[in-house]
Amino acid sequence: MSENDRGTQGRSEEDAADVRLMRLVGQGDTSAFEELIEKHQALVAGTIARMLGSNSDVEDIAQQVFIRVWKSARRYVPRAKFTTWLLKITRNLVFNEMRRTKRHPHVPLQPEPGTEDPPLKDETILAPDASLLESELQQAIEEAIQQLPETQRMALVLRRYQQLSYEQIAEVLDLSVPAVKSVLFRARTELRSRLSKYLS
């Protein structure tokens, strides 16, 4: 089987379309690049926001991810799923940012009243008291996730919010599948103990 066949065989239509777009981007096609951004912006920005908290520089980092995609397009070889490769770039930039902010903790700037972005939530509208409890729990979950070590946090975000398979998470994090399961087990155990008052 040639390298080319291997590159497209067994790929989902979705992924094959991404690989085609990347080939065009590699030839300098800006509209193909815009299409890729359009398709995967939510995945990248959502992952960054869940990893760093929504008051971080999500847009800046998402922009850096896509700048890397543009710069790497000519050398891109579709070994894994395109989204897996994209999330690896995201992981690297997010981990760098987490290390940077650990060294230089900054006080988040309060947004001007009325200019806050709507929170990244996808819950259906609930009755007021239930929704208040729900949002308090949601807040507690997000804060507890923020406390996790970076690899546990990334594994949990990819599994819980992006619905990635263990195999995909293993590729993104450069771990074996058993290691991913173990990381997720530790992350969930940690979350459970942090959220025990809500779970009783």
Residue-wise pLDDT tens digits, 19-50: 999 999 999 999 999 999 999 999 999 999 99
Q: What is the pLDDT of residues 47-92, one digit of tens each?
A: 999 998 866 789 999 999 999 999 999 999 998 899 999 999 999 9
Would 67 be classed as within a structural domain? yes
Note whether 153 and 184 are same-domain residues. yes
State the CB neighbour count (10 A cutoff) for residue 96.
12
Which CATH number is 199's domain given? 1.10.10.10
Question: Residue 18 corresponds to which tokens in the numbers above?
Answer: 């991404």
Note whether 163 and 198 are same-domain residues. yes
Domain boundary among 104, 129, 152: 104
Note whether 100 and 126 are same-domain residues. no
State the CB neighbour count (10 A cutoff) for residue 158.
27
Domain boundary among 78, 104, 130: 104
Note whether 92 and 139 are same-domain residues. no
Q: CB neighbours of 137 closer than 8 A, spacing ≥ 6?
A: 195, 198
Report the SS3 class of residue 8.
helix
- Alpha carbon distance 85, 80 (integer Å): 7
Note whether 48 and 137 are same-domain residues. no
Residue that wins the pLDDT comparison between 123 and 178: 178
Domain boundary among 104, 139, 155: 104
Domain residues for 62?
A: 1-104
Would 109 be classed as within a structural domain? no
